[in-house]
């Protein structure tokens, strides 16, 4: 069961690539938050946030699409059926399920189904969509020039740079994803690109 | 009755099979209790922690058939940690040591190990039937022990289990002398299957009535299997991604034509749409059809087939069938008793155009007078529709409605769905199981408490306003056995109002509600015959006992009556108060 833990203190929220001004960044962030917070149902009296309902507090999940996909165990389809009947899993042979995706500066995690992407390009698009802004894709493709790097934790527990290995190998070993600021990555223990 | 000799009374009791009736008989008098318990062959234990194996064996020494259920229902939806419990090993161990003549074992949501299966296979010479539903913890090595050692095995039925497939040769482990199989279901195995071994096994099993293969059994193998087993009544098909060539298709159809006794069809995960027509020859005989894993087959292909299944009583399908498809089902399948419509898009962020709505549900209720059980995942609902459904189908025993978006109101009036569900419970006087969804206030629970007199199981999610809701249910539903609640604002006042109520129930589950640690502690103190379990997400985050805050809300609460006290096998993340 997932707790969308606050892994980072919400002191500085920085989204977006360098070159964007702060106001634009904040608007972007508000827009995303608003998507989560707005309720179009008739229960808008209460303050709601559409995050995972694992805490003791009751949080009515609103009907925003992003929030909908985050609720653990909902819709109530048993896990065997989930793994075996989703269209996504039938196109790949890997019964992967979802991996957690965290992004520096965003206080909650997301989950995505790697099996629904066909390759790194697809993954880039999916990640962009997930966090509501462009740029992660750039990070994946043109790593050296971007503020962010996309890394993943593999089966052995090591953090690897995404994009090195063939796609099939990647989705078999990827346990979780993290989009981190390049500036934080140095000294993090990543193997430099091109190292055999 | 006490004037008759015991043997006569026992003979009379033999004709009473229903557990509830037998339980009632055993309460009449001491002598009846004794006769009943010594002659009891089959025992059903709905919660494996309500009793222990030693007491079971002590009371029912002639036990032949045992059914055990482990994890709470919400474990199906990943709300219960894997290590929670429900281990079958102590049961098998105790039964073996007591030399019970076990012949049948049926397990649901339990943890089964290869060692357990090995022990099972060696300890009971007359063992005949193993049914495992939603279990985990074992591999095909365990299956190999069963195959090799159970000389009189008739039934091996594996439904929706998580089995580690070691790609071994477990099918080869059935000895050549094994000819007694009547039912073999290994649909949930992920790995490759030794086709030759399977074919030989089927060929030497003239009594085989039910065969459900896994995805690794291709079309030509299926054809051969059906050719040597035309007596099959129940068939589960593998997966065929490619369109079959005309010759293979013709051969399959010819084999199917010979299976005149076939009444039930399932499987079809990853099946090319054009394989379904091969089954046209037997469609008018079908009583049960499960196409709920057939994600690849579009609605129109499904309809083409189902419309000829005039005798269908049970249909499990995906919502890709659509409202129009359901309208056709309603006009074709007049014998329909049970319908399950599952969602085909679980994670879609876009609106799912294929999903079903209230239109399909109303059509089915109007067209199928014998309908008594429904599980319906839909994207929207209205009170008007539910009221119509209630009028059309007052015979519902099970009514489970899941509107995919939590808290969604009546999409026409924007009101809550209290009135709709109220109509259902008022009209369906025999309703035993109910799952509610959509926008719901305390009012729906007032209705449920007032009208749902036969209700035994209730599932609530994202519903209600205050403790009053839960109180109405606990006070009103006299036959309530299982109550499971998630993400609803019910707290200590409701939990503690009538502690004795829980002795009449099997279990209560509450997750992401308003109950606090203090409330649960008080409950545990006042009801020592309950196990009150607090399931925490992360055992590392627990503070020291003397620092803990009783006002802290409890993640997950699971309580159940038991006669054997606190269980000893709880993992660190489970705290029993």
Portion of chain B with pLDDT greater than 90, in percent: 79
Measured CA to CA, the distance from residue A2 to residue A60 in angstroms comes to 17
Are the beta carbons of B349 and A68 separated by less than 8 Å?
Answer: yes
Token pair, residue B132, equals 């495992």
pLDDT at A70: 61
Residues 309-328 of B with CB under 8 A from A: 318
Give residue A54's pLDDT: 37
Q: Is residue B508 part of a domain?
A: no
Residue from the list A53, A62, A69 with its beta carbon closest to the beta carbon of B349? A69
Distance from CA of B134 to the nearest CA of A (A): 8
Tell me B92's DSSP state: H
From B441, which residue of chain A is nearest by alpha-carbon distance?
A43
Q: Which of the pair, B547 or A158, is modelled with greater confidence?
A: A158
Q: Does residue B191 register a pLDDT over 70? A: yes
d(CA B252, CA B279): 9
Q: Three-class SS of residue B264?
A: strand
Residue A78 counted as domain residue? no
Report pLDDT digits (tens) over B322-365.
999 999 999 999 999 999 999 988 765 455 666 899 999 999 99
- Cross-chain Cβ contact B76/A76 below 8 Å: yes
Q: Does B10 fall in a domain? A: no
In chain B, helix, strand, coil percent, each to 5? 40, 20, 45
Model confidence at B170, in pLDDT bands (50, 70, 90)?
Answer: very high
Report, as an integer, the average pLDDT of B242-263: 90
- The pLDDT score that the predictor gives to residue B308 is 95
B354 vs B292: CA distance, rounded Å: 14
Tell me the CB-side half-sphere exposure of residue A169, using CA atoms within 13 A: 6
Neighbour tally for B500: CB within 10 Å:
9
Chain segment B261-275, per-residue pLDDT in tens: 999 999 988 777 778
Indicate if the pLDDT at residue B450 is higher than 90.
yes
CB–CB of A58 and B487 under 8 A?
yes
What domain range is B549 assigned to? 515-576
Is residue B556 in some structural domain? Answer: yes
Secondary structure of B353-368 in HEC code, one letter for each residue? CCCCCHHHHHHHHHHC
Residue B489 at interface with chain A, using a CB cutoff of 8 Å: yes
What is residue A64's predicted lDDT score, i.e. its pLDDT? 45
In a domain? residue A45: no
- Distance, in Å, from the CA atom of B35 to the CA atom of B33, rounded to the nearest integer, reads 6
Residue A124 lies in a domain: yes
In the predicted model, is pLDDT for residue B474 greater than 80? yes
Q: Give B342's strand partners.
A: B318
Ranges of residues in chain A whose predicted pLDDT is under 50: 1-69, 88-95, 191-196
Return d(Cα A51, Cα A35) in angstroms, integer.
Answer: 12
Q: What is the mean pLDDT of chain B?
A: 92
Q: With a CB-CB cutoff of 8 Å, which residues 140-179 of chain B face chain A? A: 160-162
A163 vs A112, A127, A193, CA distance in Å?
17, 14, 10
What ipTM was estimated for this complex? 0.89
B406 to A73: CB separation less than 8 angstroms, yes or no:
no
Q: Give residue-wise pLDDT tens across range B36-75.
A: 888 889 999 999 999 999 999 999 999 999 999 999 999 9
Q: Are A154 and A174 in contact (CB under 8 A)?
A: yes
Q: What is the 3-state secondary structure (H, E, C) of chain A?
A: CCCCCCCCCCCCCCCCCCCCCHHHHHHHHHHHHHHHHCCCCCCCCCCCCCCCCCCCCCCCCCCCHHHHCCCCCCCCCCHHHHHHHCHHHHHCCCCCCEEEEEECCCCCCEEEEHHHCCCHHHHHHHHHHHHCCCCHHHHHHCHHHCCEEEEEECCCCCEEECCCCCHHHHHHHCCEEEEEEHHHHCCCCCCCCCCC
Task: Give the integer Cα–Cα distance in Å for B78 and B71.
Answer: 11
Q: With beta carbons under 8 A apart, name residues in chain A contacting B555.
A: 54-56
CB atoms within 10 A of CB B7: 10
Instruction: Tell me how far apart the alpha carbons of residues B567 and B531 are, in angstroms, rounded to a whole number.
Output: 8
B551–chain A nearest CA distance, Å: 11
Nearest beta carbon to residue B462 from set A60, A69, A116? A60
Partners of B485 in the beta sheet?
B460, B510
Domain tally for chain A?
1
> What is the structure's pLDDT at B238?
83
Q: Is residue B533 part of a domain?
A: yes
- Here the CATH number for the domain that contains residue A108 is 3.10.20.90
A7 within some domain: no
Please say if the pLDDT value at position B234 is more than 60: yes
Q: A-chain residues within 8 Å CB-CB of B554? A: 56
> Residue B212 burial by CB count (10 A; 0-12/13-18/19+): exposed, middle or buried?
buried
What pLDDT was estimated at residue A133?
A: 61
Q: Is residue B69 part of a domain?
A: no
Residue with tokens 């894997």: B82
Arithmetic mean of pLDDT, B280-293: 95
Counting every residue written for chain A, the total comes to 196
How many domains does chain B divide into?
Answer: 1
Residue B248 has pLDDT above 50, yes or no: yes
Is residue A167 included in any domain, yes or no? yes
Q: What is the pLDDT of residue B227?
A: 95
Query: What are the two backbone dihedrals, phi and then psi, of residue A159, each rounded to the nearest 5 degrees?
Result: -95, 125
Give B459's DSSP letter. Answer: E
What's the pLDDT tens digit per position in B475-522?
Answer: 999 999 999 999 999 999 999 999 999 999 999 999 999 999 999 999
If pLDDT is split at 50, 70 and 90, which confidence band does B159 have? very high
Maximum distance among all Cα pairs of chain A, rounded to whole angstroms:
58
Instruction: Show the domain range for A111.
Output: 98-182
């Amino acid at each position: 069961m997932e707790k969308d833990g606050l892994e980072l203190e919400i002191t500085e929220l920085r989204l977006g690539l360098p070159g964007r001004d702060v106001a634009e960044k904040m608007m972007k962030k508000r827009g995303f938050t608003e998507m989560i917070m707005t309720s179009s149902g008739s229960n808008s009296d209460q303050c709601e946030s559409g995050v995972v309902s694992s805490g003791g507090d009751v949080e009515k999940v609103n009907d925003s699409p992003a929030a909908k996909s985050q609720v653990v165990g909902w819709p109530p389809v048993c896990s065997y059926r989930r793994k075996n009947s989703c269209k996504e899993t039938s196109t790949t042979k890997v019964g992967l399920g979802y991996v957690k995706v965290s992004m520096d500066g965003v206080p909650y995690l997301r989950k995505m189904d790697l099996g629904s992407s066909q390759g790194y390009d697809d993954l880039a698009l999916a990640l962009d969509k997930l966090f509501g802004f462009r740029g992660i894709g750039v990070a994946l493709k043109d790593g050296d020039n971007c503020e962010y790097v996309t890394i993943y934790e593999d089966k052995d527990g090591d953090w690897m740079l995404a994009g090195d290995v063939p796609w099939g190998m990647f989705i078999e070993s990827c346990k979780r994803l993290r989009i981190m600021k390049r500036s934080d990555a140095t000294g993090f223990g990543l193997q430099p690109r091109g190292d055999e | 009755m006490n004037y008759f000799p015991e043997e006569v009374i026992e003979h009379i009791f033999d004709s009473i099979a229903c557990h509830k009736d037998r339980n009632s008989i055993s309460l009449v008098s001491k002598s009846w209790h004794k006769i009943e318990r010594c002659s009891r062959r089959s025992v059903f234990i709905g919660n494996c922690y309500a009793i222990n194996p030693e007491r079971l064996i002590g009371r029912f020494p002639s036990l032949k058939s045992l059914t055990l259920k482990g994890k709470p229902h919400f474990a199906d939806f990943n709300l219960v940690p894997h290590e929670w419990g429900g281990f079958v090993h102590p049961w098998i161990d105790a039964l073996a040591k007591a030399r019970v003549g076990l012949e049948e074992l049926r397990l649901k949501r339990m943890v089964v190990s290869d060692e357990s299966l090995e022990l099972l296979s060696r300890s009971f010479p007359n063992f005949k039937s193993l049914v495992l539903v939603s279990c985990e913890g074992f591999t095909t090595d365990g299956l190999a022990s069963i195959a090799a050692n159970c000389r009189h095995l008739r039934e091996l039925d594996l439904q929706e289990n998580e089995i580690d497939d070691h790609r071994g040769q477990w099918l080869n482990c059935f000895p050549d002398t094994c000819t007694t199989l009547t039912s073999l279901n290994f649909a949930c195995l992920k790995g490759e299957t030794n086709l030759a071994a399977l074919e030989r096994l089927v060929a030497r099993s003239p009594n085989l009535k039910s065969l459900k293969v896994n995805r690794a059994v291709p079309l030509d193998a299926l054809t051969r299997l059906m050719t040597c087993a035309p007596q099959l009544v129940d068939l589960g098909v593998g997966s065929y991604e490619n369109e079959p060539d005309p010759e293979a298709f013709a051969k399959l159809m010819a084999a199917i034509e010979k299976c005149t006794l076939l009444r039930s069809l399932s499987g079809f995960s990853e099946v090319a749409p054009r394989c379904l027509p091969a089954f046209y020859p037997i469609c008018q005989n079908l009583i049960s059809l499960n196409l709920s894993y057939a994600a690849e087959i579009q609605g129109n292909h499904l309809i083409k087939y189902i419309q000829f299944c005039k005798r269908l009583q049970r249909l499990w399908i995906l919502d890709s069938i659509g409202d129009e498809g359901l309208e056709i089902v309603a006009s074709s399948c007049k014998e329909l008793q049970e319908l399950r419509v599952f969602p085909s898009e679980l994670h879609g962020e876009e609106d799912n155009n294929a999903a079903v709505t209230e239109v399909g549900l109303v059509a089915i209720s109007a067209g199928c007078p014998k309908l008594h059980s429904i599980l319906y995942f839909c994207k929207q609902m209205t009170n008007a529709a539910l009221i119509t459904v209630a009028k059309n189908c007052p015979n519902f025993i099970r009514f489970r409605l899941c509107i995919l978006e939590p808290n969604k109101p009546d999409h026409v009036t924007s009101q809550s769905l209290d009135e709709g569900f109220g109509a259902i419970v008022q009209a369906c006087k025999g309703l035993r199981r109910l799952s509610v969804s959509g926008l719901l206030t305390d009012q729906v629970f007032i209705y449920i408490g007032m009208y749902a007199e036969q209700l035994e199981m209730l599932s609530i999610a994202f519903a209600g306003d205050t403790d009053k809701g839960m109180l109405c249910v606990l006070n009103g539903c006299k036959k309530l056995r299982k109550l499971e609640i998630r993400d609803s604002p019910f707290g200590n006042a409701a939990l503690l109002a009538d502690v004795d109520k829980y002795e009449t129930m099997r279990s209560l589950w509450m997750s992401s509600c308003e109950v606090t640690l203090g409330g649960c502690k008080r409950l545990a103190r006042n009801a020592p015959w309950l196990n009150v379990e607090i399931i925490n997400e992360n055992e590392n985050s627990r503070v020291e006992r003397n620092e803990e805050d009783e006002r802290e809300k409890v993640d997950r609460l699971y309580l159940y009556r038991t006669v054997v006290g606190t269980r000893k096998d709880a993992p660190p993340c489970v705290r029993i108060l």
